[in-house]
Structure 1
Amino acid sequence: MALENPNAFKTHLVSSTDSPEFTHLTRALTRSSLVALDAEWKPTRSQKSSFPAVSLLQLACRLSPRLVGSSDELLLPDEESVVFLVDLILIPLPSIWELLRDLFVSPDILKLGFRFKQDLVYLSSTFSSHGCNLRFDRVEPFLDITSIYNHLQYKQPGRRMSKDIKSLATICNEVLGISLSKELQCSDWSLRPLTEAQRTYAALDAHCLLDIFEVFQAKVMKEGNIIQNLGDQSSLISILGLKEILEEDDLCDKIMKTRFVEAVGVVRATACSDVSREIVSEEGMVLRSQQRSSLPMGESLLNVVKKYGEKLLLKESDKKPKSSRKKGKRRPSAGLIRKERLLEISDDWQGPPPWDLSLGGNGCPKFLCDVMVEGLAKHLRCVGMDAAIPYSRKPEPRELIDQAHRESRVLLTRDAKLLRHDYILKNQIYRVKSLLKNEQLLEVIETFQLKVSEDQLMSRCTKCNGRFIQKPLSTEEAVEASKGFQRIPDCLFDKNLEFWQCMDCNQLYWEGTQYKNAVQKFIDVCKLNNITPSL
Structure 2
Amino acid sequence: MTKRFMDQENRNAFKIHLVSSTDSPEFTRLARALTRSSLVALDAEWRPARTQQSSFPTVSLLQLACCQLGPRLAGGSDESPDESEDSVVFLVDLLLVPLPSIWELLRDLFVSPDILKLGFRFKQDLVYLSSTFISHGCNLGFDRVEPFLDITSIYNYLQHKQLGRKMSKDTKSLAAICTEVLGISLSKELQCSDWSLRPLTEAQRKYAAMDAHCLLDIFNVFQAKVVKEGSVMQNLAEQCSPISIIGLKEILEEDDRSNKIIRTRFCEALDIVRATACSDISQKIASEEGIVLRSQHRSSLPMDESLLKVVKKYGDKLLLKESDKKPTTSKKKGKRRSSTGLMLKEKSLENSDDWQGSPPWDLSLGGNGRPKFLCDVMVEGLAKHLRCVGMDAAIPSSKKPEARELIDQARRENRVLLTRDAKLLRHEYIIKNQIYRVKSLLKNEQLLEIIETFQLKISEDQLMSRCTKCNGRFIQKPLTTEEAVEAAKGFQRIPDCLFDKNLEFWQCMDCNQLYWEGTQYKNAVQKFIDVCKLND
When normalised by structure 1's length, the TM-score is 0.76
Q: Could you list the runs of 5+ residues in structure 2 that have no partner in the other structure? A: 242-272
Distance 1:513 1:283 in 2: 65
Q: CA deviation at 1:411?
A: 2.2
Indicate the residue corresponding to 1:255 in structure 2: none
Partner secondary structure for residue 376 of structure 1: helix
1:409 is displaced (CA, Å) by 1.8
Residue-by-residue CA offset, 1:83-126 (whole Å, 9 max, x unaligned): 11111122222222111111111111111111111111111112
Does 1:274 find its partner at 2:277?
yes
Q: Which stretch shifts more, 451-460 or 342-351?
A: 342-351
1:39 corresponds in structure 2 to 44
Matching residue within 138, 157, 169 for 1:151 = 157
Are 2:97 and 1:91 aligned?
A: yes
Per the alignment, in what secondary structure is the counterpart of residue 225 of structure 1?
A: helix
Change in 2 beyond 3 A, CA 1:142/1:522: farther
Match of 1:209 in 2: 215
Instruction: Tell me which residue corresponds to 1:194.
Output: 200
Q: Which moved more, 1:31-40 or 1:459-468?
A: 459-468
1:440 aligned partner: 446
Output aligned runs, 1:41-440, within 5 Å. 41-66=46-71, 69=74, 71=76, 73-76=79-82, 79-154=85-160, 164-222=170-228, 224-225=229-230, 274-276=277-279, 283=287, 289=296, 293-325=299-331, 330=336, 348-421=354-427, 424-440=430-446
Moved more, 507-516 or 5-14: 507-516
- Give SS of 1:194's match: coil
- 3-state secondary structure, aligned to 2:230: coil
Equivalent residue letter for 1:167: S
Of 435-444 and 99-108, more deviation after overlay is shown by 435-444
Tell me if structure 2 keeps the 8 A contact 1:366–1:387: yes
- 4, 8, 20: which is aligned to 2:8? 4
Partner-residue secondary structure (3-state), 2:186: coil
SS state at 1:373 partner: helix
CA–CA separation in structure 2 for the residues paired with 1:493 and 1:314: 63
Residue 373 and residue 272 in structure 1: after superposition, are their counterparts in 2 closer, same or farther (change >3 A)? Answer: same
2 CA distance for matches of 1:108 and 1:490? 53
Letter in 2 for 1:215: V
Instruction: Find the aligned partners of 1:510 and 1:213 in 2 and give their Cα distance.
Output: 39
In the alignment, the residues of structure 1 paired with residue 410 and residue 518 of structure 2 have an alpha-carbon distance, to the nearest angstrom, of 35
Identity %: 77
Question: Conserved in 1, the CA contact under 8 Å of 2:190 and 2:441?
Answer: no
Q: Which amino acid aligns with 1:317?
A: S
Distance in 2 (CA, whole Å) between partners of 1:67 and 1:331 is 63
Shift of 1:46: 3.0
| SS across alignment from 1:141 | strand
**Native 8 Å contact 1:226 1:304 kept in 2:** no
Gaps of 5+ in 1: 242-269, 531-535
Q: Provide the C-alpha distance between the structure 1 equivalents of 2:28 and 2:348, rounded to a whole number of angstroms.
A: 59
Aligned-partner Cα distance in 1 for 2:350–2:24: 53
Deviation at 1:163, TM superposition (A): 5.6
Answer whether contact 2:481 2:499 (CA < 8 A) is retained.
Answer: no
Deviation at residue 37 of structure 1 after TM alignment:
0.9
Residues 141 and 447 of structure 1: CA distance in aligned 2, closer, same or farther (over 3 Å): same
Counterparts of 2:17 and 2:453 in 1: how far apart (Å)?
A: 41
TM-score (norm 2): 0.76
Q: Give the 3 Å change call, closer, same or farther, for CA 487–22 of structure 1 in structure 2.
A: farther
Output the CA distance in 1 between the equivalents of 2:37 and 2:535. 48
What count of residue pairs does the alignment treat as equivalent?
488
Answer whether contact 1:226 1:300 (CA < 8 A) is retained: no
